[in-house]
């Protein structure tokens, strides 16, 4: 779930300073939240070849930790925005973790909220962006820290989208450390337990579409400090600070193409959930990043099921859940399942050694969605659910009696179905199979509707729509071919 921040295709580089050859690239500004936009400029610098935000993995060891409160003075040395030069002061809070620097404006002007960047020795490169009702701005800091680590000087380049017109500002900066950060407020929650993270990409800029998904994480909290282990991903461990009902998290992951960083703040809700946004920066050949909306809830299940068949057992399990279609005190087993794409999903226990199963599905909050005891008069269970991509459900398998086998088989299938009737197409169907075929259309509910019989060697033209599936079976019911219509105006399917 990573997303890329890149200059717009039609943007052009502008000269940052008439007295230099340095070029800056304007970008397409997008309205984001203050936390979300903290990464926006990183890719602009990558796309232009200017700046130096990358190289987190190769950065030199920091000479001193900058974590603390800072008083920053700034003086504007030039702008082409048609405004007077400005100067002033602002208080900033800086948190440094390794070579990663996270800076937050406390009482400055302009509403700028967060910056993120890298430190290499005495040099800091920070990036950020700001969006309000009538303008957008991107920021590029280049700072040098004193040997003692108690002051820094540098410059800030700012591009502003003044009512759709881009202008540039340059400032010199100087800062002194004025104290330590205030200690975090005592935690009001203890999140030491297994949790589920529902991560939904808000914006995608790494060349792919927005994604959704679920991971299970293990919180280990000791006072104000928390370690978050993302299960199943050995290289992803988040470190954070709990303050009152908030957790400020920081994740560094060594990826194949460099260092991946996540920074965000999660806030506890009265029912014990955590919600917030997490910004991602990937230091790859081309820097990209993005924003995820996180919803964190106590885990309902400790195991994960995927498409296909999962073999399990209720041996050693306890009675944790009760479905509306069967009430008992016998053991059950629960699984997480996340829909990889939108559509119908069939969930069943056909093939189980267990004589009789009960199957029910819960949403992320533990509310029942559906329950089935006996499917089609059998002793097994079956449910058909319409899920959106990224939906996470909890599947519970229960047993009907204590005197039966404890083993079961959980089957999850993405059911083929028609999606839309927006694009009309002509489909020629050619039967060269050597057998007479029955032609079926798969409707929007995933059900087969009989459309006719096609003799061997014959063909005919069928009007249909893109995304509509067609199945071709022998008279005995054997499936020979499945074809999904594309957007081509005229197309042919041949059944051999």
Q: Taking the domains of the chain in order of start, what are their residue ranges? A: 14-179, 194-298, 303-415, 424-495
> Could you tell me the pLDDT band of residue 299, with boundaries at 50, 70 and 90?
low
> Could you tell me the pLDDT band of residue 302, with boundaries at 50, 70 and 90?
low
Whether residue 200 is predicted with pLDDT greater than 80 in this model: the reply is no
Q: What pLDDT sits at residue 4?
A: 24
Q: What pLDDT sits at residue 391?
A: 77
Per-range mean pLDDT, top range of 35-49, 252-266, 303-317, 409-423: 409-423
Q: What pLDDT sits at residue 52?
A: 33
Task: Take residue 39 and report the two structure tokens written for it.
Answer: 């990464």
Contact 405, 311 (CB under 8 A): no
Residue with the larger pLDDT of the pair 172 and 232 = 172
Mean pLDDT of 125-150: 75
Mean pLDDT of 336-349: 84
Q: What pLDDT sits at residue 22?
A: 36
Q: What pLDDT sits at residue 411?
A: 92
Contact 152, 133 (CB under 8 A): no
> Could you tell me the pLDDT band of residue 96, with boundaries at 50, 70 and 90?
confident
Whether residue 354 is predicted with pLDDT greater than 70 in this model: the reply is no
Which of 257, 147, 245, 155 is closest to 191 using CA atoms? 245
Q: What pLDDT sits at residue 459?
A: 96
Whether residue 484 is predicted with pLDDT greater than 60 in this model: the reply is yes
Q: What pLDDT sits at residue 20?
A: 38
Mean pLDDT of 138-149: 88
Whether residue 225 is predicted with pLDDT greater than 70 in this model: the reply is yes
Residue with the larger pLDDT of the pair 104 and 55 = 104
Identify the CATH assignment for 194-298 out of 2.60.40, 2.40.128, 3.30.1490, 1.25.40: 2.40.128
- The widest CA-to-CA distance across the chain, in whole angstroms, is 88
Per-range mean pLDDT, top range of 15-29, 112-126, 307-321, 460-474: 460-474
- The per-residue pLDDT for range 361-386, each reduced to its tens digit, is 998 677 899 999 888 778 888 898 88
Whether residue 419 is predicted with pLDDT greater than 80 in this model: the reply is yes
Q: What pLDDT sits at residue 455?
A: 96
Whether residue 39 is predicted with pLDDT greater than 80 in this model: the reply is no
Q: What pLDDT sits at residue 76?
A: 93
Mean pLDDT score across all residues of the chain: 75
> Could you tell me the pLDDT band of residue 422, with boundaries at 50, 70 and 90?
very high
Residue with the larger pLDDT of the pair 273 and 259 = 273
Same fold, 194-298 and 424-495: no
Considering the chain, what percentage of its residues have pLDDT values greater than 90? 23
CATH number of the 424-495 domain: 2.60.40.780
Mean pLDDT of 143-161: 89
Q: What pLDDT sits at residue 50?
A: 32
Identify the CATH assignment for 303-415 out of 2.60.120.380, 2.70.170.10, 3.20.20.140, 3.10.20.30: 2.60.120.380
Task: Take residue 65 and report the two structure tokens written for it.
Answer: 């930790």
């Amino acid at each position: 779930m990573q997303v890329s921040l890149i200059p717009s295709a039609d943007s052009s580089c502008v000269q940052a300073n008439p007295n230099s050859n340095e070029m800056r690239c304007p970008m397409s500004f997008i309205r984001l939240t203050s936390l979300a936009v903290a990464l926006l400029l990183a890719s602009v610098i990558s796309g232009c070849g200017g700046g130096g935000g990358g190289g987190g993995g190769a950065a030199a060891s920091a000479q001193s930790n900058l974590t603390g409160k800072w008083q920053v003075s700034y003086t504007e040395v030039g702008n082409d925005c048609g405004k007077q030069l400005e100067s002033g002061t602002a208080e900033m809070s800086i948190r440094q973790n390794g070579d990663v620097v996270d800076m937050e404006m406390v009482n400055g002007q302009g509403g700028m909220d967060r910056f993120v960047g890298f430190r290499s020795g005495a040099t800091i490169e920070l990036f950020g962006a700001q969006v309000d009702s009538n303008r957008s701005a991107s920021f590029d800091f280049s700072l040098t820290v004193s040997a003692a680590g108690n002051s820094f000087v540098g410059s800030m380049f700012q591009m502003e989208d003044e009512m759709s017109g881009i202008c540039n500002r340059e400032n010199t900066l100087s800062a002194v450390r004025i104290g330590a950060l205030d200690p975090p407020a005592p935690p009001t929650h203890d999140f030491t337990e297994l949790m589920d993270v529902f991560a939904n990409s808000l914006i995608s800029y790494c060349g792919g579409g927005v994604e959704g998904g679920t991971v299970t994480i293990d919180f280990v909290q000791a006072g104000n400090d928390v370690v978050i282990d993302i299960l199943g991903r050995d290289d992803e461990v988040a470190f954070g600070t709990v303050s009152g009902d908030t957790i400020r998290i920081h994740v560094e992951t060594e990826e194949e193409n460099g260092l991946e960083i996540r920074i965000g703040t999660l806030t506890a809700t009265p029912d014990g959930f955590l919600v917030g946004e997490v910004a991602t920066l990937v230091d790859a050949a081309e820097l990209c990043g993005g924003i995820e909306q996180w919803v964190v809830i106590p885990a309902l299940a400790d195991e994960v099921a995927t498409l296909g068949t999962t073999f399990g057992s209720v041996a050693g399990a306890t009675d944790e859940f009760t479905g509306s279609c069967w009430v008992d005190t016998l053991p059950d087993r629960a699984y997480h399942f996340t829909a990889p794409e939108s559509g119908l999903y069939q969930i069943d226990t056909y093939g189980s050694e267990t004589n009789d199963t009960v199957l029910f599905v819960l949403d992320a909050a533990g509310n029942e969605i559906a329950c089935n005891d006996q499917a089609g008069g059998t002793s097994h269970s079956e449910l058909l659910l319409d899920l959106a991509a990224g939906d996470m459900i909890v599947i519970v398998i229960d047993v009907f009696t204590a005197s039966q086998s404890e083993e079961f088989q959980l089957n999850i299938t993405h059911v083929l179905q028609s999606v839309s009737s927006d694009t009309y197409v002509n489909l020629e169907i050619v039967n060269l199979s050597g057998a007479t075929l029955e032609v079926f259309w798969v409707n929007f509910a995933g059900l087969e509707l009989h459309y006719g019989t096609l003799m061997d060697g014959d063909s005919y033209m069928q009007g249909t729509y893109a995304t509509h599936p067609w199945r071709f079976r022998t008279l005995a019911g054997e499936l020979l071919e499945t074809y999904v219509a594309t957007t081509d105006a005229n197309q042919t399917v041949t059944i051999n």
